[in-house]
Chain A
Amino acid sequence: MQKENNNAAVPSAGTTRIRHRKRSSEVVPEPSKANGGNFLVDDRNKYKSMWIRTHSTVWMIGGFALIVYMGHLYITAMVVVIQIFMAKELFNLLRKAHEDRHLPGFRLLNWHFFFTAMLFVYGRLLSQPLVNTVTSDKFLYQFVSNLIKYHMAICYFSYIAGFMWFILTLKKKMYKYQFGQYAWTHMILIVVFTQSSFTVANIFEGIFWFLLPASLIIINDIFAYIFGFFFGRTPLIKLSPKKTWEGFIGASVTTIISAFVLANILGRFKWLTCPRKDLSTGWLQCDPGPLFKPEHHTLPGWITQWFPWKEISILPVQWHALCFGLFASIIAPFGGFFASGFKRAFKIKDFGDSIPGHGGITDRMDCQMVMAVFAYIYHQSFVVREGISVEMIMDQILTNLNFEEQQTLFMKLGQILQERLGHA
Chain B
Amino acid sequence: MQKDQGSSAPSTPTNGRVRHRRRSNEFPVEMSRTNGNHLLANDHNKYRSMWIRACSSLWMLGGFLLILYLGHLYIWAMVVIIQIFMARELFNLLRKAHEDKRLPGFRILNWHFYFTAMLFVYGRIFSHGLVNTVTSDKFFYRLVSRLIKYQMVICYFLYIAGFMWFILTLKKKMYKYQFGQFAWTHMILIVVFTQSAFTVANIFEGIFWFLLPASLIAVNDVAAYFFGFFFGKTPLIKLSPKKTWEGFIGASVATMISAFVLANVFGHFQWLTCPRKDLSTGWLHCDPDPLFKPEYYPLPVWISQRLSWKEIAILPVQWHALWLGLFASIIAPFGGFFASGFKRAFKIKDFGDSIPGHGGFTDRMDCQMVMAVFAYIYHQSFVVPQDYTVEMIINEILSSLTLEEQQILYTKLGQILQERMLGLY
Contact = CB atoms under 8 A, between A and B. Distances in A.
Nearest to A180: B345
Contact of B408 (A145, A150, A190, A390): A390
A178 interface: yes
Interface in B272-298: 277
A252 B178 CA distance: 29
Interface stretch (B15-23, B245-253, B336-344): B336-344
B309 interface: no
B386 interface: yes
Interface residues of A, number: 72
B390 A405 contact: yes
Interface string A108-148: 00000000000000000001100100000000000001001
Contacts of B380: 152
A345 B174 CA distance: 8
Contact of A393 (B277, B397, B403): B397
A172 interface: yes
A418 to B, nearest CB: 10
Contact of B175 (A149, A345, A370, A413): A345
Contacts of B261: none
B349 interface: no
B334 A164 contact: yes
A96 interface: no
B413 A413 contact: yes
Given A334-B164, A346-B176, A393-B409, A148 B388 contact: yes
Contacts of B160: 331, 370, 374
B239 interface: yes
Given A153-B378, A167-B338, A183 B394 contact: no
A405 B346 contact: no
Given A187-B186, A405-B390, A410-B417, A239 B152 contact: no
Nearest to A191: B186
Contacts of A131: 389
Nearest to A402: B389
A408 B387 contact: yes
19 contacts: A148-B388, A152-B377, A160-B374, A167-B334, A170-B239, A175-B345, A184-B183, A187-B186, A238-B172, A341-B179, A346-B176, A374-B156, A381-B152, A389-B405, A390-B401, A390-B405, A393-B393, A406-B417, A410-B417
Interface of B: 132, 135-136, 149-150, 152-153, 156, 160, 163-164, 167-168, 170, 172, 175-176, 178-179, 183-184, 186-187, 190, 238-239, 277, 331, 334, 337-338, 341-342, 344-346, 370, 373-374, 377-378, 380-382, 386-390, 392-394, 396-398, 400-401, 403, 405-410, 412-414, 416-417, 420
Interface of A: 127-128, 131, 145, 148-150, 152-153, 156, 160, 163-164, 167, 170, 172, 175-176, 178-179, 183-184, 186-187, 190, 237-239, 331, 334, 337-338, 341-342, 344-346, 370, 373-374, 377-378, 380-382, 385, 388-390, 393-394, 396-398, 400-401, 403, 405-410, 412-414, 416-417, 419-420, 423-424
